[in-house]
């Protein structure tokens, strides 16, 4: 699964500025929300900045424009103005999950599950670490029944620490504990590009998760492919 995390990490974008410590909080949070790291480059002037991805510059602009845009008072945002090219360049690739709590992970997992349910097609693959986390949660099981009923091919994964629950979903027992440290939800979108989403994380400390999530179709395709290559016994279909 680490290869999946690495695949998403490789998509990382970086905001390059003269001095990252000078960035205001709003710009910093905007970077975090979009998985954009910050890197210093002393050859830039204090107001110059650019977005690099894969060793190339994809957009450049000024720190003051970026700061003014993300910090605009929503009450006064009107029909004037456009989105700076630099802001457009923030998206793409994946978003980082850094030491997220279980609660926040649940919210993101629901977002992906809702996409599957709404689309009513395609494949959903969800790793629960321990099977008891799925089997012991009636609400979650009911939701997964709904997702199957909507027309989605569903498989859930977990170390068999309890009897697999009966249901219309496929339960894959992770007998070797290969996936025991990972919380993941992969949805291939059922052929709808706008519906794909994937979350791949590792439990970095007790109850805290780190990794990435993405809605980029080509990336999600790659993740399914990598999962099949690395774990043919678990992701054979």
Partner 1 sequence: VDSGAREGDRPQSATDGAPAGDDDRQRGDEPHAGADGPGLNDPLDRLRPGTNVVVTGPSMVGKVSLCYRLLAPAADAGRAIYVVATSEPADRARERYADYVSGWPDDLAVVDCMTRQAGLDGAADGDDRTWYVSSPGDLTGVGMAVSKAMAATPAERRSESRLLFDSVSTLLLYSDVETVYRFLHAATGRVQDVDGYGLFVLHSDALDEQTEATVTQLFDAVLEVREGDETGAEYRLSASGTDSEDWHRFTSGGVDGGAEP
Q: Give the per-residue SS3 of 142-179.
A: HHHHHHHHCCCEEEEEEECCCCCCCCCCEEEECCCCCC
CB-nearer residue toward partner 1: 90 or 157: 90
146 binds partner 1 (CB under 8 A): yes
- Residue position matching structure tokens 């395709």: 221
10 binds partner 1 (CB under 8 A): no
Tokens of 201: 């994380």
210 binds partner 1 (CB under 8 A): no
* 3-state SS assignment for residue 191: helix
Q: Determine which helix (DSSP H) or strand (DSSP E) holds 225, and give its type and residue range.
A: helix 217-230
Binding residues for partner 1, total number by CB under 8 A: 51
208 binds partner 1 (CB under 8 A): no
The residue range among 50-58, 108-116, 153-161, 180-188 that interacts with partner 1, by the rule CB under 8 A, is 108-116
Report the DSSP pairing between strands 13-17 and 182-187: unpaired
CA-to-CA distance for 215 and 220, rounded, in angstroms? 7
Q: Which of 111, 121, 153, 203 binds partner 1 (CB under 8 A)?
A: 111
Q: Which of 5, 152, 216, 235 binds partner 1 (CB under 8 A)?
A: 216
Residues lying near partner 1 in the complex (CB under 8 A): 29-30, 33-34, 69-70, 72-75, 77-83, 87-88, 90-92, 95, 103-104, 106-108, 110-111, 113-115, 117-118, 120, 139, 143, 146-147, 149-150, 192-196, 215-218
């Amino acid at each position: 699964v680490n290869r999946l995390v690495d695949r998403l990490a490789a998509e990382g974008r970086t905001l390059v500025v003269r001095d990252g410590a000078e960035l205001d909080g709003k710009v910093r949070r905007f970077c975090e929300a979009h998985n954009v790291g910050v890197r210093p480059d002393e050859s830039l002037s204090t107001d110059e900045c650019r977005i690099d991805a894969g060793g190339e510059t994809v957009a450049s602009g000024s720190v003051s424009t970026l700061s003014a845009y993300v910090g605009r008072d929503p009450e006064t945002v009107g029909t004037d103005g456009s989105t700076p090219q630099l802001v457009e360049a923030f998206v793409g690739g994946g978003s980082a999950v850094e030491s997220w709590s279980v609660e926040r992970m649940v919210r993101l997992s629901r977002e992906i599950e809702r996409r599957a349910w709404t689309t009513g097609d395609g494949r959903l693959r969800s790793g629960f670490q321990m099977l008891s986390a799925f089997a012991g949660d009636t609400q979650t099981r009911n939701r997964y029944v709904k997702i199957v009923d909507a027309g989605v091919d569903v498989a859930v994964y977990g170390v068999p620490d309890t009897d697999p629950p009966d249901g219309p979903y496929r339960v894959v027992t992770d007998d070797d504990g290969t996936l025991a440290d990972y919380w993941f939800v992969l949805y291939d979108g059922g052929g709808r590009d706008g519906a794909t989403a994937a979350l791949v994380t590792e439990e970095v400390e007790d109850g805290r998760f780190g990794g990435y999530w993405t809605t980029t179709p080509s990336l999600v395709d790659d993740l399914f492919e990598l999962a099949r290559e690395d774990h043919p016994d678990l992701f054979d279909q």
